Amino acid sequence: MKDLLLVTVPIALVAAASSGMSDAQPSTRTFVKGTVTSAGKPARSVWVIVSLNGREAGRSLTGDDGKYYIAGVDPGTYDFVVVEKGVQLYKGRATLPIMNDTFDISF
């Protein structure tokens, strides 16, 4: 009988602990992408930083084509800042998710 309890109790604990996993809500996280341009040309190697309520939520370094991609952000209204060598070049705001998941930045 004692051996039966040793096997039954751990199985019951695992079943109880895992039962809530099926109740989990699907993730609502989203992403944003876009192109950064300066005077009509791609802004290369600049940081695009997104912040929510003053806290950084993500960042991306643009490529030679000026494109950026930031994933894993929750829906909300974000501040977008573009920085090059410590100098802020742009500041704007957008609400995510956004149409076509695209927020292009020009300055």
pLDDT tens digits along 64-78: 999 999 999 999 999
Q: Is the pLDDT of residue 39 over 90?
A: yes
Percentage of the chain lying above the pLDDT 70 cut: 75
Q: Is the pLDDT of residue 18 over 60?
A: no
Give CA–CA dist 21/103, Å, rounded.
35
Q: Is the pLDDT of residue 91 over 70?
A: yes
Among candidates 24, 22, 94, which has minimal Cα distance to 58? 94
Identify the DSSP state of 87: E
The whole-number average pLDDT for the span 78-90 is 97
Q: Is the pLDDT of residue 14 over 90?
A: no
Give CA–CA dist 77/24, Å, rounded.
25
Per-domain residue ranges of the chain? 30-106
Q: Find out whether the peptide bond into 26 is cis, omega within 30 degrees of 0.
A: no
The whole-number average pLDDT for the span 13-41 is 71
Query: Taking a C-beta distance cutoff of 8 angstroms, is the pair 44, 62 a contact?
Result: yes
- Structure confidence at residue 4 (pLDDT): 45
Q: Is the pTM of this model over 0.85?
A: no
Q: Is the pLDDT of residue 8 over 60?
A: no
30-106 under CATH 3.10.690.10, yes or no: no
**Is the sign of the CA dihedral 87, 93, 98, 99 positive or negative?**
negative
